[in-house]
Copies of this chain bind each other. A is one copy, B any other.
């Protein structure tokens, strides 16, 4: 079979003995074509294995039918495997001493997998395809530029590319910011850091033993950290509870050290981590200090990383609905494509509080 190149509408038209317009109509608006002709064309399509060329269709349509999703780069190590040599030495199995998990890869929480899945599902549901791009450090602008010409609209995870790029070369492409700061006057979806933390802390205040509360703050330049801190303050404001803040910087060590220092003065009744890592550090410090969790002191984190499910005790935390984030990002794009002049929306998705043993009995 010398089927050297793909058949086009012309081939189908010839095969079915109709004009190319009719072929196109059969595919795009079948109701405009008589049943008999339609059948004949569809048969020709099948016989030739015709697949419409998306580029041509996109050109004629002035739309690509593709949505873009730009996620932060991952910098796959340069040592990553390439194609083995043709003559292929036999595959060599590597033994890694992984008893403490150090060899585990760094992409701990399935954050982006879920984002991609949600976006993908929502996009296909609406008849769009999803182009995924990771802005690797070297080439953010190139990627961005390339993407802009390929898609009808673009979802960008916050801080993936510099702001001026967002406004610059892609001024005409509808965009939504994902997990950003909001309030930029553009479409945006993010997670309710503030509300989630506030709800969590209110719950803690209701169940914790008597005593002071320690808040393990995140880095000051992080919007997430800021939102969570505000949520914490919302919850403790006006409550008659002693509390103070220590910087943990979103790290295990930070949480560990802050709690260790705290134990020298007074045993806290609750430690609220701005994220899971610092809460896990706190858990370790409390164990070292012989403090019973959750009996004497309850602990909470934020993010819902894997480790929080397996720590001892398991860590109460807040999970971000990443799938929904992806879905909503796409839905916002679809909305804007449908109505370019709609007022920008700034969605805040509610989070899920996962109650686990580190904060004691279920309220």
Contact = CB atoms under 8 A, between A and B. Distances in A.
Interface string A159-196: 00000000011111100000000000000000010011
Contacts of A11: none
B169 A99 contact: no
Given A81-B328, A350-B91, A121 B136 contact: yes
Contacts of A347: 83-84, 88
A309 B101 contact: yes
26 contacts: A6-B172, A49-B169, A51-B148, A51-B173, A54-B150, A55-B55, A57-B149, A66-B150, A80-B121, A81-B327, A83-B328, A86-B345, A88-B347, A90-B195, A91-B195, A93-B351, A96-B352, A98-B314, A98-B354, A98-B355, A98-B356, A107-B110, A107-B117, A110-B110, A113-B116, A131-B132
A113 B107 contact: yes
Contacts of A237: none
Nearest to A76: B121
A96 to B, nearest CB: 5
Nearest to A74: B117
A150 B139 CA distance: 24
Contacts of A64: 54-55
A347 B76 CA distance: 21
A94 interface: yes
Interface of A: 3, 5-6, 49, 51-59, 64, 66, 74, 76, 80-84, 86, 88, 90-99, 101, 103-105, 107, 110, 112-114, 116-118, 120-121, 124, 129-134, 136, 139, 143, 145-150, 168-173, 192, 195-196, 199-200, 203, 306-307, 309-310, 314, 321, 323-324, 327-328, 331-332, 335, 345, 347-357, 362
Given A51-B149, A172-B49, A95 B203 contact: yes
A189 to B, nearest CB: 9
Nearest to A343: B86
A171 B167 CA distance: 42
B91 A348 contact: yes
A99 B316 CA distance: 8
Given A76-B327, A83-B335, A134-B121, A59 B55 contact: yes
B104 A362 contact: no
A313 B195 CA distance: 38
A300 B5 CA distance: 51
A139 B124 CA distance: 10
B130 A51 contact: no
